[in-house]
Homo-oligomer: A and B are copies of this chain.
Amino acid sequence: MELRNDILLRALQRQSVDRTPVWIMRQAGRYLPEYLATRAEAGSFMNLCQTPELACEVTLQPLRRFDLDAAIIFSDILTIPDAMGLNLYFVSGEGPKFEHPLRSAGDIKNLPRPDIGESLGYVMDAVSLTRRELGGKVPLIGFSGSPWTLATYMIEGGSSKTFSRAKKLLYQDPELAHQLLGKLADTVTDYLNAQIEAGAQAVQIFDTWGGALSSQAYKEFSLRYMTQIVSGLKRENEGRPVPVILFSKSCSTQLEALADTGCDALGVDWTTDLATARKYVEDKVALQGNLDPATLRESPEVIRQGVADTLASYGTGPGHVFNLGHGITPDIDPEHLGVLVDAVHELSPQYHL
């Protein structure tokens, strides 16, 4: 099936396009009433992730409403630790939890490298099904958490504010930390390659908690493993390059180092303007971002102005993918996202003359 809209893939490779492509982190999510309906039908969040027909359905929902340039497969970053035997579950209002968090050196040493096809086959089934259903309309993005970000949840047993257990491991037993992160990097590589083989046309690694680390610890315990993953990925499929996007939140001063990992594009959070980010990376990679998600709570005029400012901040030339600086939040009126998407369509062509 021919891909009819390839501007996301072209922009990620810094090739010329007619206008700036746009997709939104968490575009398939709780701000959409149709998502909430499917989520209710699924019974549990895990069942939604693990039932390919339902995951495909929610992946496609935002594309029915908005003129987006990509789909991103609906899943959760914590499917990998779940497949490693930690047993993911969700407590309403408390976020993700693991039945068996990593509590000892033995827990880390005994952690299996899961057979991706067997334990995470439901994700690959959702990817293939969604590719079929998309019928070449837009490309499908696959994703994973970064090893460091996955490790924080696995060690803390869920979300954390201080990451004290996870940091303790890095500082007290760096060798054991490297053992864990190495296993995770291998597994993430397998997982993303399986998504690519199943049909993902670009992949993104979410390093949500990179910003918890000092610069030195970030390089040793997060960046290093993302670099390893990037070099292990199948970078071409179906005769076409598969671009790789890295998104380390709250790590803007690492953009320069991230640009040297061999990835194609970097996500940028809203605290750094794209002009500064572009200066840091010297146009070595494409940039994705970075409107403050809070802007979507405002009036259409304010949203349009935010889009205009973001486009102007990147400026002319190829290599910009429009997105928020972080995921869309559940309290947003879907019509406001429509305003954003329309504004990108309308205001961005002038930057691609």
Interface centre among A162, A250, A251, A294 (most CB of B within 10 A): A294
The answer to the question of A40 belonging to the interface, with a C-beta cut-off of 8 Å to chain B, is no
CB pair A211–B250 under 8 Å, yes or no, is yes
- Residue total for A at the interface (Cβ-Cβ under 8 A): 38
Min distance, Cβ A41 to any Cβ of chain B, angstroms: 29
Which of A9-17, A97-105, A188-196, A297-305 interfaces with chain B? A297-305
Interface centre among A162, A167, A253, A295 (most CB of B within 10 A): A253
Pick from B251, B252, B253, B271: contact of A213, CB below 8 A: B271
Within 8 A of B (CB), among A302-353: 302, 309, 313, 325, 329, 331
The answer to the question of A47 belonging to the interface, with a C-beta cut-off of 8 Å to chain B, is no
Report chain B residues within 8 Å CB of A167: 292, 294, 297
Pick from B250, B292, B298: contact of A172, CB below 8 A: B298
Min distance, Cβ A268 to any Cβ of chain B, angstroms: 10
Pick from B163, B171, B215, B309: contact of A216, CB below 8 A: B309
Min distance, Cβ A9 to any Cβ of chain B, angstroms: 27
CB pair B253–A272 under 8 Å, yes or no, is yes
Min distance, Cβ A196 to any Cβ of chain B, angstroms: 31
CB pair A302–B171 under 8 Å, yes or no, is yes
**Cα–Cα, bound, A215→B309 (Å):** 11
